[in-house]
Structures are given as structure tokens and as C-alpha cells.
Amino acid sequence: MSAYIDTSALAKCYVREARSLDVLDWSDAEDGPTISALTLVEFRCLLARRRRAGQIDAELESRALAEFDRHVRGGTWRLQGTAFADFADARSLIDALPTVPLRALDALHLAAARASDAEHFATADKTQAAAARALGFTVHEFF
């Protein structure tokens, strides 16, 4: 079975917080979960935002980013490239899920998961979980 992990859940693998160990156990049990190319930027932004907010220090930010980059290069995460078709699919998801307050980047994660033929979707975001469930994914919630 193929699995996709969004940035909200993936961050728990690099910055210790509630449910971090659960995400690590889940990702270890999967056969190389997929991430979107979007995650490369979004994870970097997440780390910088947390450093600016005083939630992590510069040393942890640097270590977490370096470890994430090593994992991407080493194949721990399978990288799903983002194509124009993913943007078109993300746009269509806004209409397909009219009752879910889907944000742009969340829609792109869902489109990338669909493009990678993932059956499982891991997230730490309640709205994202609702959207993924509505699209038929088996959702693994880590909030």
C-alpha cells in the first residue's frame, strides 16, 4: 500500500512534539511514504517560522533541515514532483469539497497524493484529514 505524508505530520519526525513517536512508528512501518515537492519549501518555512516564534532555536532548525535533506536524498521519503496537472487537480478539489475549508497548499498536497496513487494519507491537520477522508484516503491522524 502506498502512503503520503503531508508537512504537518512530517514535521513531527524532526521536531519533537505531541504524537512525534506515533508518526515515526507509522512512517517506519510504511514503504517509503511519498512527499510532495511542495514539502521541500513548506518544511523549510515551518522551521523558520518556529525559530522566529521562539519555539525552536537556530541549532535545532539547522539540524532538522539537514536531517530532512539527508532523508530526501537517501530515499526515506519518495518525492512526488509537482506538475501542472497537480495544480489543476488541486483547483478542482476546491469545488469537489465545497463544505471543507480547503487551503491552497492543502489542496496541492491532496493532488500530489492522488497523483502518487497513495491509498493512505498522514496528517496532523484536522481540515486536511477531513478532506483526505472525503476523497477516499485511509487517513492517519496525528493531532
Query: pLDDT value at position 130?
Result: 98
Is residue 31 over pLDDT 90?
A: no
Domains in the chain: how many in total? 1
Range of the domain at 82: 3-141
Percentage of the chain lying above the pLDDT 90 cut: 97
What are the tens digits of pLDDT across the range 117-131?
A: 999 999 999 999 999
The CATH number of residue 38's host domain is: 3.40.50.1010
pLDDT tens digits, one per residue of 44-81: 999 999 999 999 999 999 999 999 999 999 999 999 98
Tens digits of residue pLDDT in 105-118 = 999 999 999 999 99
In the numeric block, the cell 517509503 is attached to 32
